[in-house]
Structure 1
């Protein structure tokens, strides 16, 4: 169920040979930036000459010199049951020039930690031989299993040779100890660490352990899982609230959600991905206020597109009635007419997310969702059940919640952080739309192509009747919810592998990839176990209709098997992004889903009369085939070539 997500990425001017960035160039972003700069004099634009967005002191400048091993996990369009499809390097990737001070400090800590684990730097806390001798068997076992340090050889001659970098005249004699006490790190100490790190990498002495990679990927994943589950809950809650009203209502809400996804949410998310390039390009160049200019352009552009979308939603009943039975079409049309009230806010939030993410403010959307998600649950209960508004209450709750999202994000930017990149309203936002549109349209096509491949199954299930459409609604909701675990894991794995590839640590990247693959299998087996145990309980959370329950229970075994392949495919997509081969994954997905999986689904579902089970067998086989093809490609790929390509891109700036 997971096609490769698109990394939220940037294209600044940082060009260290051991940078963690794994970028692709974006001439359109450069063109847009050049046009904007030509329209403003130097005193109209706030320029941060270092391009960090911090405008800090000399110590900040020192921290950006040299390799950057740490990178925040890549962000993707939240709030969808399907991630966006990435067909190639049409947008840039996370740039270390946009790391915050804290993140740059974490990069330095990660480098020091790896140097200590490889016994190139002395340990942070020295342990005497007497202390080692008093270690009990349980302590020794714990360290053997969970320690991130590489084991030393049996003799001193097998230990890696210590790399010694001569101190400068101004190097403190007690630099390491002083640093632990909180003293500011000097330029000489940064250069000393950079030289030692680069020498160790060049000598091939930096290796990693599965324990370290498991810990890193787990830390990257945990917050992403929470964020993904929170935003996906906005749509899932309305399905839960409506499901108890009846079988007709349950199928209609899924049909309406599918229509909203294809006609509005997917296009808006795809178009907004251009800001991942444009906003980050402007911010990384040091012209922070041009970030707000790019945001304004996208808001105006999306506002124009909302008029035809509103027209489609307003007449959705007649459009859908030509394809499925009239009662479901009538309710779905009613749902969409109310949901129109939230479409402008949804567009504003998608653009606003990119505005704050370009500044490295990734936690803002999480804070917003921590408020909005519980409110959405309350509003669904209040409108659908307490006030007795029934089916109409669910879209109204969603629309109100969608209007809350940009408002809360605006308050965060205004009161907390992010307003420095706004710069006020400008007439220039009505010009220079060409680069934005040329970047936005491919993103929209990629998202729509992937989304449609899955949502078309919901439309096809409506051909079997109301009960089958309701069962499809339950299956889609369950499988999309479970997907919110392996998908963030794939993002974390992609980020870590890209970091190590960018730092020329190919063997370490392979170790991290293996850990991520195992993690994907473990998560898949967890989902398999969960759905197997509650096979008959899950449909009862949504409905009491015996026919729907039986349909779901009959199809769930296929859905259970799919969970394992879903986790494997999600991880394979992420690893392809990590080594810069996402275009292969994009084309593989298109070919397999449209030429193999969907024809099998329709052949089994309609041709052989397998019904809903046949539809899901096709996509399950498609996921298995996608994961096998992508793992085969990665197995035979030369990762050293990927590392060399990353080095060349970073050196080119």
Structure 2
């Protein structure tokens, strides 16, 4: 099945071309457009320097030129994980993002560092620091066996390998960019680059650690309200879960799905040198998303009779409807943030979101405490705190862009943002439909939990919060694995990609076992963090045992789906999720919950079975997949992109 990148690329190009046609020559001059569209408009003074070494920055600029001239031969090795929406991920659901984005200056620097590291690991470049040979002790051998990233001596390239003369000689100084790039291209062409599990483990940790922090920070905005409401009462805890799940299905998930098209549009606009189009695309998507607010707001405002038809407890429904009416005021911020973070990601400013959340997340806890307990607004105070935080986050992001970095892509508000909506909507709809279809199952199960009474619905809120928090560890790992495998595939390193995939799957199992252990050992203590009600805590503790087993499959399914994205087969994972949710998880959940009388534990047992099926399908496909075909398709995409750039 074709990847979403191949399917959406022509539409993305159509949008860019239409915008360029509407921009007059004088407009281009005002925006600072380059005379040649084939070269990005990069002002060296505007590019943030990572380190004080000016030679390193100069090398990255020269490598950028080399990359443009050799893009058809291999892809940049190190990319930030782009195209990922920091949101509230549940149960192996991940947006389908482009396999590669346009490299920024920071990406190019990381590419050089990653290639240099692999060349050193393969003994093709000298070590970073010249040292005297250490004594060959038992401790030294054990240390090298466990932690050394070097390819074993018996696997290093032979001296007959046609790479470079004097390849093992120690030069007086570190080779320059051209020398590194030349050795890399020759080594890749001769298929002598190998990797070790230690190198891949180190790389996955470096990629995933900051993402884990960012995802946990973002989810804490929702978690803070749940923790606060749980201290008010059982009904309130169930109501906030019903409200947030309804809000996710009817608004947050569609908004997130629609905004994923900016992953392609903004990165292509930035990479082609039309920086003003980055802001224009983000501006246009924000207006499109804001256009959804009136109908969604109308639905939320009159949601009480709708929820009452599926949830029997009237007080729970009344509180959930109250929360939804308050959350209407947070919708503009949610939409603006979805566009804003992609505006920053296209420029390589991935840390911008983290800095903003470092301020917003603690502030959300303070607002919950202030409104709920100090102002005595009780349940309404928690929803108010959430709505205020949702609007505050994009404001903080805009302030960061204005005062620190990223302003060169914002040229002010433009009437052109109200044009060219059709192609953007066509590009955005497939991603939105896929994510919405996957998330809808969770709303069905939340409604089903309400049939067992307020206590079960409150316990469902605890289980959703715990599993969602736990998922913020394997999900970033899946993003890191997807990025690394895609980079290695693009560089024609099939063996290294397979090694990285194996390391990622082992890491997923370890994460899953860690989550299983934590949920099993502390199954009685964790619910008490959310609520003082012993009845709710008891029901949640029973369900926690099922959720503990679910965590193993949840982690492996997430990473497996990430690997499928890395080899360009994300559609396989999407369809596997849909099949397992609707034809396995949903029937088993409803059957065990109502027919076998397992109630809440039965609902989560069905989800566990569904994720087990997803894991099996994806692992079998990954094992049987022809990875060389993925390499060939990646090369075709790069040739197509290069041809498009030359045509422009």
Matched, 1:47 2:52: no
> Where in structure 2 are the equivalents of 1:573-592 lying within 5 Å?
573-592=561-580
What secondary structure does 2:451 align onto? helix
CA contact (8 A) 1:349 1:405 kept: yes
C-alpha distance after superposition, 1:446-481 (max 9, x if no partner)? 221111122221111101111110111111111111
Quick one: distance in 2 between partners of 1:47 and 1:118? 42
Equivalences for 1:602-617 in 2 at 5 Å? 602-617=590-605
- Alignment counterpart, residue 109 of structure 2, candidates 97, 105, 109: 105
2:100 equivalent in structure 1: 94
* 1:99, distance to aligned residue in structure 2 (A): 2.1
The residue that corresponds to 2:291 in the other structure is 304
Q: Identify if the C-alpha distance between structure 1 residues 610 and 163 changes in structure 2 by more than 3 Å, giving closer, same or farther.
A: same
Give the distance between the partners of 1:113 and 1:486, measured in 2 at CA.
Answer: 26
Give the aligned partner of residue 12 of structure 2.
Answer: 29
**1:165–1:196 CA contact under 8 A, matched in 2:** no
Matched, 1:221 2:226: no
Task: Give the corresponding residue for 2:538.
Answer: 550
Q: Which residue of 1 aligns with 2:150?
A: 149
**Distance in 2 between residues matched to 1:75 and 1:310, nearest whole Å:** 28
Query: Is 1:69 aligned with 2:77?
Result: yes
Q: Is the 8 A contact 2:460 2:600 kept in 1?
A: yes
1:74–1:37 CA distance, 2 compared to 1 (3 A): closer
CA separation of 1:117 and 1:23: change in aligned 2, threshold 3 A = farther
Residue 315 (1) aligns with residue 302 (2): yes
Moved more, 568-577 or 113-122: 113-122
- Kept in 2: contact 1:87–1:587 (CA 8 A): no
Query: How far apart, CA to CA, are the structure 1 residues paired with 2:63 and 2:154?
Result: 34
Question: Is the 1:120–1:162 Cα contact (8 Å) retained in structure 2?
Answer: no
CA offsets 1:417-467 (integer angstroms, 9 cap, x no match): 111111122111111111111112222212211111222211111011111
Offset at residue 595 of structure 1 (A): 1.1
- Counterpart for residue 453 of structure 1: 441
Structure-2 separation of matches of 1:84 and 1:372:
26
* Cα separation, 2, equivalents of 1:243 and 1:85: 26
Candidates 121, 127, 131, aligned match of 1:123: 127
Tell me how far apart the structure 1 counterparts of residues 549 and 107 of structure 2 sit (CA, whole Å): 39
Picking from 339, 349, 372, the partner of 2:327 is: 339
Change beyond 3 A, Cα 1:425–1:158: closer
Equivalent-residue separation in structure 1 for 2:457 and 2:535 (angstroms): 12
- Quote the residue 1:251 is aligned against: 238
Instruction: Identify the range of structure 1 (307-316 vs 76-85) with the bigger mean alpha-carbon deviation.
Output: 76-85
- Aligned match for 2:481, one of 490, 493, 501: 493
8 Å CA contact 1:87, 1:585 repeated in 2: no
The whole-number CA distance in structure 2 between the counterparts of 1:340 and 1:160 is 69
1:160 and 1:417, CA in 2 relative to 1: closer, same or farther beyond 3 A?
farther
Q: Offset at 1:494?
A: 0.7
Is the aligned partner of 1:638 residue 2:644? no
Q: Deviations over 1:575-612 (max 9, x none)?
A: 11111111111111111111111011111111222111
* Pairs within 5 Å for 1:480-629: 480-629=468-617
Deviation, structure 1 residue 485:
0.5
Q: Does 1:330 align with 2:335?
A: no
Residue 237 of structure 1 corresponds to: 224
C-alpha displacement of 1:321:
1.1
Please give the alpha-carbon distance, in whole angstroms, between the structure 2 residues aligned to 1:336 and 1:372.
21
Report how far residue 290 of structure 1 moved.
1.2
Alpha-carbon offset, residue 198 of structure 1: 1.7
Seen in structure 2, the aligned counterparts of structure 1 residues 593 and 440 have a Cα distance that, compared at 3 Å, is same
Question: 3-state SS of the aligned residue for 2:17?
Answer: helix
1:516-574 CA-partner distances (Å, limit 9, x unpaired): 00100000011011111111111111222222122112211111111111111111111
**Superposition deviation, residue 162 in structure 1:** 6.6
Q: Does 1:479 align with 2:467?
A: yes
Q: Give the SS at the match of 1:26.
A: helix
Deviation at 1:81, TM superposition (A): 3.4
Give the 3 Å change call, closer, same or farther, for CA 135–229 of structure 1 in structure 2. Answer: same
Aligned counterpart, 1:164: 164
Question: Post-superposition shift, 1:116?
Answer: 1.7
CA contact (8 A) 2:8 2:427 kept: no
**How many residues align structurally?**
612
TM-score (norm 1): 0.89
Q: CA contact under 8 A between 1:283 and 1:290: conserved in structure 2?
A: yes
2:223 touches 2:465 (CA, 8 Å); kept in 1?
yes
Specify which of 229, 232, 251 is matched with residue 264 of structure 1: 251
Cα RMSD, aligned residues only: 2.4
Secondary structure class of the residue paired with 1:363: helix
Compute the displacement of 1:337 (Å): 1.1
1:98 counterpart SS class: coil
